[in-house]
Structure 1
């Protein structure tokens, strides 16, 4: 019996060491967060080790539960049907992505240099090297929000309207117009398509190559918002704000608008933090030392959704999603291009982006009116 004692002591030391080593290795690979005990593997491959919530490498919960915690169920359960739910998207987002922090201004204002997260990066992920020209632009626009009426709302319902052909013949126009903030992208037209896409436009987010070129196609009133992906975009925007003759078109991959029929007070610069966060934190695109590179730029639609998550209480989308299994389906709702026209993008990673958006839909963070994601 005495001969066995050293062996038993050795086992008492080795077993806890092996267990701790396994847990350390697993936590590094699976991102574990303890909240109880008991082990199980669910049908959707989400793992709970001793009621340990498992997150993917981006920090999203693998088991996407659409249910809110009981206290939030009670909070929102007492609201009337259809009433705006304050903080709803934030609550849902935080439940699947605990690292989410809501405060992030929609547009740049004169205090933009205080935003440390964008100060270290050049466009598209920040404002480095562009500070002086941004100061000049903001001094001219003088306005940095959505406008007094919308800024004063205690609860905002926002919808991002994509340009997908999936919007055709859905008759969602009146539903889209019910939202407080309607965001449209690039040159997607409204006139003639109101039945499917609505007639209301709060803001149109674009970049030089995507901006409407025919002045008569602009809405009578909306905010013109630049999302700058490269330094020439800021230079172009300055000329649009000051109504200057367009000089120098180097650095653009196709023709750009030569004028924008908006007064400076109706023009904004989108906070580039949303491009940075969507790319590196939400989707997990290559960092490339903070420079634009192959497959590390999110699409404008995902950037707009990221913006809405930080600034809206409820977020919906419509017109998102490309179904490559239907090559003859319309690519956009406003033209005859077919799905087969999509080529592999040098700048975007559509597959990884769709994976991120699907997480948001599955968890109820955003509502997809056209069920394309």
Structure 2
């Protein structure tokens, strides 16, 4: 009888031990899946943007390639969405012909450095808000590996608050300005005529590469945003609010793919609630976002900051 009790006790003890070790093993596997060991970090920053986060991972997993290239064009379905945000009614065939011409003139090789455990790519995304006035963020902005500026925002005369380094400058034809030879143009085409604008100077008679204008020479360093990326931001991030995303918000989302650590400057209103540019006086205090869901975009910036995915410098 005693031997039988000892046998039952031994069997129960073994079953309990197996259960404990099995559960411990499952917990360890889950932990490793969600939190890789430190020596397997995706980058060399203190906190890497692309480390696992369910909310951000869900948003980013649906992204197409951000840039157009000869091997990465858009579908007719995406073209039909893109066509709705413009007045141009030319066909998908005409669009493809135009894109092919662009890449014949400006061969584009998308070659960004990928995340690496040995590398920390820090980016400053610099908007044009008046809250940069008096901020003295200039040295901090210039300290980043990559500085991305948007549209007409100048640096000359504003170096103390906005810095003077520019790695990538985001523009479209209406906001085009001359760039120095250390700055790469990131071109945002919002319509077919924007793509035609790229090739028009070279389509004129008696123009050769030898005599090409300074502005057009700079376009050889350009990268063109994929309209499919615009559609993705509109559908997945903004859930179809507004007509299409703003240039600033598109730039911010794009930076999440280019960088391991993102710091954002010059977005939102100044302390008086004015939505001015730091380089000009604008008396209209209303949020001038046109077709863009400005409030929702700003809420996303704040959420990314609260989730510690970016750092948002609010200015003064």
Q: Is the aligned partner of 1:179 residue 2:179?
A: no
Q: Is the aligned partner of 1:223 residue 2:184?
A: yes
2:168 pairs with one of 191, 194, 203: 203
Superposed counterparts of 1:77-226, under 5 Å: 83-84=44-45, 88-91=48-51, 94-96=54-56, 98-101=58-61, 104-113=64-73, 118=78, 121-123=81-83, 128=92, 129-145=94-110, 151=113, 154=116, 155=119, 156-212=121-177, 215=178, 218-226=179-187
State whether residues 158 and 182 of structure 1, in contact with CA within 8 Å, keep that contact through their aligned partners in structure 2: yes
Deviation at 1:321, TM superposition (A): 1.0
State whether residues 162 and 319 of structure 1, in contact with CA within 8 Å, keep that contact through their aligned partners in structure 2: yes
User: Unaligned stretches of 5+ in structure 2?
Assistant: 1-30, 206-212
> Could you tell me which residue of structure 1 aligns to residue 313 of structure 2?
369
Q: Deviations over 1:284-338 (max 9, x none)?
A: 234xxxxxxxx31211111011111223222221101125x725x5711111224
> Could you tell me which residue of structure 2 aligns to residue 290 of structure 1?
none
State whether residues 184 and 222 of structure 2, in contact with CA within 8 Å, keep that contact through their aligned partners in structure 1: yes
> Could you tell me which residue of structure 2 aligns to residue 55 of structure 1?
none
Please give the alpha-carbon distance, in whole angstroms, between the structure 2 residues aligned to 1:114 and 1:164: 33
Pairwise CA RMSD? 3.5
Q: Deviations over 1:166-225 (max 9, x none)?
A: 11121211211222221110111011212211111111111111222xx4xx33421112
Please give the alpha-carbon distance, in whole angstroms, between the structure 2 residues aligned to 1:121 and 1:333: 34
Choose 1 or 2 for highest CA Rg.
2
State whether residues 132 and 315 of structure 2, in contact with CA within 8 Å, keep that contact through their aligned partners in structure 1: no
> Could you tell me which residue of structure 1 aligns to residue 280 of structure 2?
335
Superposed counterparts of 1:67-82, under 5 Å: 75=37
Q: Deviations over 1:141-172 (max 9, x none)?
A: 223336xxx63773422221100111112121
State whether residues 274 and 306 of structure 1, in contact with CA within 8 Å, keep that contact through their aligned partners in structure 2: no
Structure with more helix by fraction: 2
Change (3 A) 1:187 1:101: same
> Could you tell me which residue of structure 1 aligns to residue 12 of structure 2?
none
> Could you tell me which residue of structure 1 aligns to residue 208 of structure 2?
none
User: Unaligned stretches of 5+ in structure 1?
Assistant: 1-68, 246-257, 287-294
Please give the alpha-carbon distance, in whole angstroms, between the structure 1 residues aligned to 2:308 and 2:173: 33
> Could you tell me which residue of structure 1 aligns to residue 248 of structure 2?
301
Output the TM-score relative to the length of structure 2.
0.71
Please give the alpha-carbon distance, in whole angstroms, between the structure 2 residues aligned to 1:132 and 1:235: 11
Change (3 A) 1:172 1:265: same
Change (3 A) 1:116 1:315: farther
Deviation at 1:102, TM superposition (A): 7.4
1:266 pairs with one of 216, 221, 228: 221
Please give the alpha-carbon distance, in whole angstroms, between the structure 2 residues aligned to 1:174 and 1:318: 13
Please give the alpha-carbon distance, in whole angstroms, between the structure 2 residues aligned to 1:136 and 1:117: 21
State whether residues 105 and 311 of structure 1, in contact with CA within 8 Å, keep that contact through their aligned partners in structure 2: no
State whether residues 184 and 205 of structure 1, in contact with CA within 8 Å, keep that contact through their aligned partners in structure 2: yes
Please give the alpha-carbon distance, in whole angstroms, between the structure 1 residues aligned to 2:110 and 2:278: 30
Output the TM-score relative to the length of structure 1.
0.62
Higher relative contact order (CA 8 A, sep 6+): 2
Q: Tell me the SS of whatever aligns to 2:143.
A: coil
> Could you tell me which residue of structure 2 aligns to residue 233 of structure 1?
194
> Could you tell me which residue of structure 2 aligns to residue 354 of structure 1?
298
